[in-house]
Amino acid sequence: MKQRKPIIQAGSMVLAILLMVAGGIYLVNKEAGVKTMETIQKQSNANEQHEPDSAVPPTVQPVNYTISTASSMVKVMPKDELPERRNIKLSLAGNEYESFQVVVRADAKVDEAAVRIGDFVNGDHRLTDIEWYQVGYVWIDTFEGHPTPEIAETQQPGWYPDPLLPRKNVQLLENWSNPIWFTVHAPEDAAPGIYKGSVGVEINGTTNWVEVEVEVYRFSLSQKPALPTLFSLSFMHLKEVYGQVDEEMRRKWFDYVANYRISPDDLYLNPQMPEWDMAVTAHERGFYKDKVNGFTLYPVTSTWDDREASAEKLIERFEHSRPYIDQIIGTDAVNSSNGVFYGFDENEVRHFDTMKEVNAHIKKTYPNIPIATTSQYIDSYERMKELNVDILILCLFDNLYNNDFADSLRKQGKKVWAYTGMQPYNPEPNWRIENSPMEARLLLSAMALHERFDGFLYWSLNYYYKGTGAVPAPIKRNESILTNWSITTPTEEFKWLHGDGVLLYAGEDGPIGSIRMENIRDGLEDYEYYKQLEHIAGFDAAFGAADELVKSTSEFVRSPEQLYEVRQRISAMISGS
């Protein structure tokens, strides 16, 4: 496992206004940052008694509060004050998830708060799969040193919303905007039409209802995602956090990831290390093969150090793993779920001789299984052919992913995927903590179609302690929404880097999602809209719809309303067919 290093040092421009619109910035004085955190932590548990102010009698005071709603593509920061709004509309296809937020801002301490979910009714039909989570927070110390100077200047220490915490009751912090996250799921066979329902927040015995209107379209998304992906779930880090990962916990994590249209997969699993006992079994590959699109059949290299290993050593390890590989092939998962050999991560020219020899051996043994790699130094079809590479995965950074080059490779039968890591920086999209959640959704939908990604890779869902040796404890179900978890890279060089390689949190009962992860799934679902439109009306029609939102990897809309409008028009074209 490794910490990503920058491919190229660059400082991209960022619009401070954009960041404010996308979710606001919780500003605190740098010198007062620690003091502020300590003060908030003292207020953090709504069930704790606070010492009364000497000027206020220790009696129950009336609470004034504002109830608002917000899109799932917006980060609601603690200091954001939203206007009163107690209704929201959303739409989705069958076999799709869509989320929204109800935001409560109270001017005093709330002793008791709970969530209520009413019926969602369309004639004789009902939507019953509706879940809620409370948005939790991670503490961010600094953005000093960020490659984009404007980020370093405008983003300040504070609590940033991200984890979606399962709770029994709601914890409401006073003088703080508290988002509650709701996710609605329409099953594949859901009757189309308008469903009307409500969700409520009970505060000190009074339930405040929010009217919700859900439109279910006249089509459903496929069970298997259209866009192939490789997202790495580190089995080693699961073992570090939980100690022992039993079958129940393993299944919870694998099912959770698969439910987000991603294969439970460790891109860097080393067959010679103890964590290999968590490798996905042939039975599991068979179970998930109709639910996911893309997985690593075998990691040719597991670490950056492996790139320096001899070809003889890597071939020997490969041969030792042949029985495992053959078992997976026997399930037909490779064909049905796009299994690949992946290795030589971000390799350099000096690795090419070893890579050529190892890949030639793999190709001779399994000629029909694609070999994928990430490299900015493979610059031609001839080089790909020489190295026996079928899938070239390029970073969306400083024009490394170039459509003219990518299309020239595609014309000769190769595939070109995209990936992000710590890069790219604004104005290109990413899902670090300072990015708008909408960027994740656009990246894997309109941008993926517009820029013709053949697939997408991300290096880690859960790279927790990042080499520090400090293993976080699983989050308990009803502990404070101000979590003790850090998503910061703990080095002086990368102290500004927050959220890279951490999209899921470990809870005592299993995986805990995040705002960023929800938008990743939404993006993969939105991609299905474009592919269904392409199937009905051709690529130009799908491209034209995507072009309303995306012009390039650095030029795209920043408004959730615009994305919803395009989705609505696409759905009408699909339904009308």
CATH fold for domain 229-463+501-525: TIM Barrel (3.20.20)
Q: Which long-range contacts link 16-20 to residues 24+ away (Cβ below 8 Å)?
A: 16/150, 16/154, 18/426, 18/436, 18/558, 19/154, 19/155, 19/434, 19/436
Is 179 in contact with 76 (CB distance < 8 Å)? yes
Residue 548: burial class (beta carbons within 10 Å; 0-12, 13-18, 19+): middle
Note the pLDDT of residue 562.
98
Homologous superfamily of 16-49+64-220 in CATH?
Immunoglobulins (2.60.40.10)
Give the model's pLDDT for residue 560. 98
Closest CA to 336 of 250, 468, 224: 224
Query: Residue 518 phi/psi, 5° resolution?
Result: -60, -40
CB-CB contact of 428 with 12 (8 Å): yes
> Which letter does DSSP use for residue 111 in this model?
S
CA dist 406 → 390, 451, 556 (Å): 12, 10, 20
CB-based contact 449:543 (threshold 8 Å): yes
One pLDDT digit (tens) per residue for the chain, 577 residues: 444 444 433 333 333 333 333 333 333 333 333 333 334 443 333 333 333 333 334 444 457 999 999 999 999 999 999 999 999 999 999 999 999 999 999 999 898 999 999 999 999 999 999 999 999 999 999 999 999 999 999 999 999 999 999 999 999 999 999 999 999 999 999 999 999 999 999 999 999 999 999 999 999 999 999 999 999 999 999 999 999 899 999 999 999 999 999 999 999 999 988 889 999 999 999 999 999 999 999 999 999 899 999 999 999 999 999 999 999 999 999 999 999 999 999 999 999 999 999 999 999 999 999 999 998 899 999 999 999 999 999 999 878 898 999 999 999 999 999 999 999 999 999 999 999 999 999 999 999 999 999 999 999 999 997 666 678 899 999 999 999 999 999 899 999 999 999 999 999 999 999 999 999 999 999 999 999 999 999 999 999 999 999 999 999 999 999 999 999 999 999 998 6
The residue to which tokens 């290993």 are assigned: 309
* Phi, psi of 178, deg, nearest 5: -105, 100
Domains 16-49+64-220 and 229-463+501-525 share a fold: no
* Domain-wise residue ranges, the chain: 16-49+64-220, 229-463+501-525
Query: How many degrees, rounded to 5, is the angle at CA 268 between CA 262 and CA 269?
Result: 95
Concatenate the DSSP letters of all residues of 381-448 into one string. HHHHHHTT-SEEEEESSTT-S-HHHHHHHHTTT-EEEEEESS---TTS---STTS-HHHHHHHTTHHH
Specify the pTM: 0.90
**CA–CA distance, 455 with 394 (Å, rounded to integer):** 10
Show the tokens assigned to 301.
């290299």
Structure tokens at 280: 């996905």
Enter the tokens of residue 343. Answer: 């290795």
Q: CA 161, CA 482: separation in Å to the nearest integer?
A: 9
